[in-house]
Amino acid sequence: MKIAICGCGIGGLATAIFARRAGFDITIFDQFNTPEPVGSGLVIQPVGLRVLEQLGAADGALAKGAKGFHMIGHEAISGRKVLDVAYGPRGGENFGLGIHRASLFNAMLDVAIADGISITANHKITSTHTTDAGRFVTFENDTVSGPFDLVVDTTGASSPISSLISKPLPYGAIWGTVDWPEKSPLQYDRLQQRYRRASNMIGILPIGTLPNGSTPKAALFWSMPRGKIKNWYDTPIADWRAQATALWPELTPFTDQITAHIQMTPAAYTHGSLRKPYGDRIVHIGDAAHRASPQLGQGANMALLDASALVQCLKMLPIDQALPRYVKARKRHTNVYQALSWTFTPMYQSNSRILPIIRDYILGPLSKVPPAPAILSSLVKGSMINPMRGLPTDQANKPAIR
């Protein structure tokens, strides 16, 4: 089977490695000249780490990332702890792996290269079409490649070939990468956030080291209304630092490192899912099929799980049966996390005055009452429900190795 993989991000690389190992003839296209990290870090949850283990990329990721065992959030003025989610007793799979995008990409790319996969770079996809011979991919310069038996769309949130029209969320964020200061009072084993209502949020996520570095890094993020992100780049950076450290004084050694706007990358968030993420010889996975705010830290994990489930189905069944089977395996998991993300995001990122009160005075205290801590823990780990429903191996549901 000849497969075109459109997009060499997290889902694309994972699909390429799995598909190549399954014996398929793959070509992977990306618009980039050479891969460059966009943005900062993210969290690989235990379900995602298991997919990295299947790929053989977990050791590389673990060597570079930082294990996080808690997610803690405080209300800025009162100091009240309003979010406290632990991954569970230390040991085993009870952590999220904070990692810089470049380090994650490199860990996966090393495996792809060792497997003999080469990337067709400088190919910006604009459209696809089918004939009796198969599906073809068209690029920006009007060249065409094909026919392929299957096109896998892994071009992410700006996919030119997915029909998904996602809803812009009212808040986005700016993200930057900073050194972890030697004398910080903060702990390097947790994601920490400060909130003022739901309209202000600042967070710090330990993400380990860059591909060729040894300095411990952190991702610094600052939430802001979508419409204000562009204007932020025209305001004095010192004003922002003062605003940020007023919210969280201990963060001064982190924010002091941001001296130019260019150090922060804007991120607008959108929400939505394709009702039917496949068609004639095409399937959409990852952000091309479903998008949500990163509040629950699941997007990259979803792309990894999608890739694993898709190739498992393609190995078992002919394409016309494999694609609906893949969707059946993944749909419930993605739907539940989409719904939870839609519900929780406005409590942390919105103009609502009511929702943060519910967050701080009702949900915060309730979250400490059993069985809520265990439920929240499985929620962040990505394992609240079976991520690969009914697949024979249920690989992603197996106990973690470490």
Query: Pick from 287, 309, 323, 348: which binds ligand FAD (CB under 6 A)?
Result: 287
| Per-residue x/- track, 213-242, ligand FAD (CB under 6 A) | ------------------------------
The single residue listed with the structure tokens 């060499």 is: 8
Using the rule CB under 6 A, is 244 a contact of ligand FAD? no
The Cβ of residue 23 has, within 10 Å, a number of other Cβ atoms equal to 8
| CB of 269 vs ligand FAD, minimal distance in Å | 7
Give the residue nearest to ligand FAD (CB). Answer: 9
Closest CA to 382 of 260, 300, 273: 300
To ligand FAD, the closest distance from the beta carbon of 58 in angstroms equals 15
Cα(6)–Cα(154) distance, integer angstroms: 6
Strand partners, 219: 177, 205
Of 24 and 337, nearer to ligand FAD (C-beta) is: 337
Number of residues in the chain = 402
396 with 387: CB under 8 angstroms?
yes
The binding track of 87-126 with respect to ligand FAD, each residue x by CB under 6 A or -, is: -------------------------------------xx-
75 binds ligand FAD (CB under 6 A): no
Residue 18 near residue 154 (C-beta atoms within 8 A): no
CA Rg value for the chain: 21
Nearer to ligand FAD, 329 or 360 (CB): 329
Using CB under 6 A, which of the segments 130-138, 148-156, 243-251, 324-332 binds ligand FAD? 148-156
Residue from 27, 103, 128, 155 in contact with ligand FAD (CB under 6 A)? 155
Running DSSP on this structure, what letter comes out for residue 118?
-
Residue type, 332: R
Tell me the per-residue interface mask from 290 to 319 with ligand FAD, x by CB under 6 A, - otherwise: ----x--xxxxx-x----------------
Nearer to ligand FAD by Cβ, of 154 and 350: the residue is 154
Provide the residue type at 179 as one letter: D
- First-to-last C-alpha distance (Å) of the chain: 35
Query: Binding residue for ligand FAD (CB under 6 A) from 146, 156, 203, 206?
Result: 156
Q: Classify burial at 98, counting beta carbons within 10 Å of its beta carbon; exposed 0-12, middle 13-18, buried 19 or more.
A: buried
Instruction: Pull the structure tokens for residue 300.
Output: 């990259």
Please list every residue from 12 through 51 that binds ligand FAD, using CB under 6 A: 12, 29-32, 39, 42-43
For 117, half-sphere exposure in the C-beta direction (CA atoms, 13 angstrom radius) is: 30
Instruction: Answer whether 199's CB lies under 8 Å from 150's CB.
Output: no
H or E element at residue 200? strand 200-208
Q: Which of 94/357 has CB closer to ligand FAD?
A: 94
3-state SS assignment for residue 174: strand
**Single residue of 25, 113, 129, 158 touching ligand FAD by CB under 6 A:** 158
Decide: is 153 part of the binding site for ligand FAD (CB under 6 A): no
Give me the DSSP letters along 70-82.
EEEEEETTT--EE
Q: Which stretch binds ligand FAD (CB under 6 A): 84-92, 109-117, 153-161, 339-347?
A: 153-161
What is the total count of residues that contact ligand FAD (CB under 6 A)?
32
Binding-site member from 18, 136, 148, 175 for ligand FAD (CB under 6 A): 175
Interacting residue ranges for ligand FAD, rule: CB under 6 A: 7-12, 29-32, 39, 42-43, 124-125, 154-156, 158, 160, 175, 267, 286-288, 294, 297-301, 303
